[in-house]
């Protein structure tokens, strides 16, 4: 399977490889990172490996998915960001999760923008969402920086989530006005 590589000024979005397990397992074992992801619980190393395998499987089934995000400067795998729509999801989601020591540097917004571009141009989506826990202020801020607007509420894996979204037309307008 050929997972496309996206490049931004500071990041490389690429498919996961087995060498990413240490960094990914570290991220998934961090309570602060995982409190808003999935069921809100940390993952063991073995569970992290299965999560990476599910991400790769999503690419196989859907033709798109989450990328491993690599910081160009350090070469470190810093998180996962991309397009996600597992069975039962309410729409194609652009989602993000970064290792805590990479928070606050604008990486989620930078990679989120590349993922949105991919969703609208390569996947020809007319609308993209982000599902965020209501009290996750940092992720809500990223969604807003990406031009997404609050559209409602839903439940994800039994947890309340707010739905942010943006249409292709709104996205294209943002691009023409400068980001």
Q: Please give the backbone phi and psi of residue 135, each rounded to the nearest 5 degrees, phi first.
A: -90, 10
pLDDT in tens, 45-69: 999 999 999 999 999 999 999 999 9
pLDDT surpassing 90 at residue 178: no
pLDDT in tens, 89-123: 999 999 999 999 999 999 999 999 999 999 999 99
What pLDDT sits at residue 118? 97
DSSP tag of 20: G
Distance CA 168, CA 104 (A): 27
pLDDT surpassing 80 at residue 23: yes
What pLDDT sits at residue 142? 97
Distance CA 75, CA 108 (A): 16
Q: What are the domain boundaries of the chain?
A: 6-177
Q: Which of 156, 131, 135, 160 is nearest to 143 (CA)?
A: 131
What pLDDT sits at residue 113? 97
Return the CATH architecture of domain 6-177. 3-Layer(aba) Sandwich (3.40)
């Amino acid at each position: 399977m050929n997972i496309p590589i996206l490049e931004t000024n500071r990041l490389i979005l690429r498919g996961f490889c087995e060498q990413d397990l240490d960094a990914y397992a570290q991220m998934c074992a961090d309570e602060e990172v995982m409190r808003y992801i999935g069921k809100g619980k940390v993952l063991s190393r073995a569970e992290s490996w299965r999560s990476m395998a599910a991400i790769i499987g999503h690419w196989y089934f859907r033709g798109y998915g989450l990328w491993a995000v690599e910081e160009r400067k350090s070469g470190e795998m810093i998180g996962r960001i991309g397009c996600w729509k597992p069975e039962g999801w309410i729409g194609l989601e652009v989602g993000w999760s970064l290792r805590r020591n990479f928070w606050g540097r604008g990486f989620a917004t930078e990679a989120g923008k590349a993922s949105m571009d991919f969703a609208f141009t390569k996947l020809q989506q007319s609308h993209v969402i982000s599902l965020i826990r209501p009290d996750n202020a940092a992720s809500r801020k990223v969604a807003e920086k990406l031009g997404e607007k609050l559209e409602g509420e839903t439940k994800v894996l039994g947890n309340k989530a707010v739905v942010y979204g943006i249409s292709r037309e709104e996205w294209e307008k943002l691009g023409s006005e400068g980001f």
